[in-house]
Structure 1
Amino acid sequence: MRIAFAAAAAAIAFSTPAMAQDVGTDIVGNDEAVIGTVEQNDGTTVVVNTGTYQVPLGTDAFAETDGVWTLNTTKAELETAYGAIMAEQEAALAAALVPGTAVATVDAQALGVIEEVGEDAVLLADGEERIALPLNLFALDAEGALIVLANHADIMAALEAQAG
């Protein structure tokens, strides 16, 4: 979903692509007010911290005007659009976090099936083995399948270390 948002933001951007925005740089909107500050830039995606959200945008969403990095939107418009995307993602994740749903790891290894969803943890069953994982480790992959944001080897190593 973040990729889709970056593409949508690029469509509303000025036509002059940016090459790079330095971390700490203020980004200004088309209303000449500061939208936020660049928090990360990996050369492809720039994360702008608006104070409310950390919004990932493609580098081509930005333009430089008179030495100022700009977006062709306002802070309110950006936060509204990104907030809607986040709400949609949260609803989709909540809908997937139900008993009986298969869960894989980020490296596409089957991990188990949800047995129980608690307030801040999920209990998975894989045959006789039970695995409890924090709720914040779960996400949907690009195809909408439920995954854990860790690879299988790391999860197994953590479980072995926890067992003693």
Structure 2
Amino acid sequence: MRTLALTIGTLMLVPAAAQAQQAAPQSTVEGGASATAATPTVGATVYDSAGVALGTVAQVTPQAIILNTGSAQVPVPPTSIGKTDKGFAMAMTKADLDAAVASSQAQAKAALKAKLVAGTPVTGLNGATLGTVKGADEQYVTLTTAKGDVKLPIAGFSLNASGNVVAGVTADQLAAATASATAK
């Protein structure tokens, strides 16, 4: 059986499981200033407890404020951000946030790697089953599909909220890429 190696641009997604763990919100922020409940808007800068920019607000939902730190999209509870006389702030340092993000990403990577074993079902972005894992190494995951084995970059895989393996393509995108690769 022939194995196809595909590189699909949409597979370079940030793992959805990357989340930061942060310290409990405190009643004072930077220099003892009192923080009051406030919700920043998209584009607002959020500072750390020392006045250093943590990132900008990329999205606001009732469950989380997504900070773009420049290297990650970090969901934080809305209650962890307060309004000070200098703007929006969190009661943690940039170094603490960066460390929490790195730890969370390492945990997510380890959890994914543990699931990338032979026989594990893989779904696409639309929820349709793509196939099952045949094997994985540090760079690629080989899927057994109805059309044969397909080798995809490991960077395009993540775990969903239920802990199931998801590839960063839809079933239709994978079928089109497979058809294109076999036609060459």
**TM-score in same-fold range (> 0.5):** yes
Task: Indicate the structure with greater helix content.
Answer: 1
Partner residue of 2:171? 152
Q: 1:12 is matched with which residue: 9, 18, 25?
A: 25
Partner residue of 2:60? 43
Q: Does 1:99 align with 2:113?
A: no
Q: Secondary structure in 2 aligned to 1:90?
A: helix
Q: Which moved more, 1:55-64 or 1:147-156?
A: 55-64
Calculate the TM-score normalised by the size of structure 2: 0.70
Work out the CA distance in 2 between the residues paired with 1:109 and 1:122: 18
The superposition leaves residues 91-129 of structure 1 with CA deviations (integer Å, 9 ceiling, x where unpaired) of 101111122222111222111111121332211112451
Work out the CA distance in 2 between the residues paired with 1:67 and 1:76: 20
Runs ≥4 residues deviating over 6 A: none
Calculate the TM-score normalised by the size of structure 1: 0.78
Q: Does 1:134 align with 2:153?
A: yes
Report if the CA contact (8 A) 1:124-1:130 is conserved: yes
Q: Secondary structure in 1 aligned to 2:114?
A: helix
Partner residue of 2:76? 57
Partner residue of 2:14? none
Work out the CA distance in 1 between the residues paired with 2:41 and 2:77: 11
Q: Residues 13-32 of structure 1 correspond to what in structure 2 (within 5 A)?
A: 16-23=36-43, 25-30=44-49, 32=50
Q: Does 1:143 align with 2:162?
A: yes
In structure 2, the gaps of 5 or more residues are: 1-16, 28-34
Report if the CA contact (8 A) 1:10-1:60 is conserved: no
Work out the CA distance in 2 between the residues paired with 1:55 and 1:42: 10
Q: Which moved more, 1:101-110 or 1:57-66?
A: 57-66
Q: Does 1:34 align with 2:52?
A: yes
Taking only the aligned residue pairs, the percentage that are identical comes to 25
Q: 2:128 is matched with which residue: 93, 106, 109?
A: 109
Report if the CA contact (8 A) 1:27-1:37 is conserved: yes
Q: Report the CA distance shift for 1:58/1:156 in structure 2 as closer, same or farther (over 3 A).
A: farther
Q: Secondary structure in 1 aligned to 2:88?
A: strand
Work out the CA distance in 2 between the residues paired with 1:112 and 1:86: 25
Report if the CA contact (8 A) 2:134-2:143 is conserved: yes
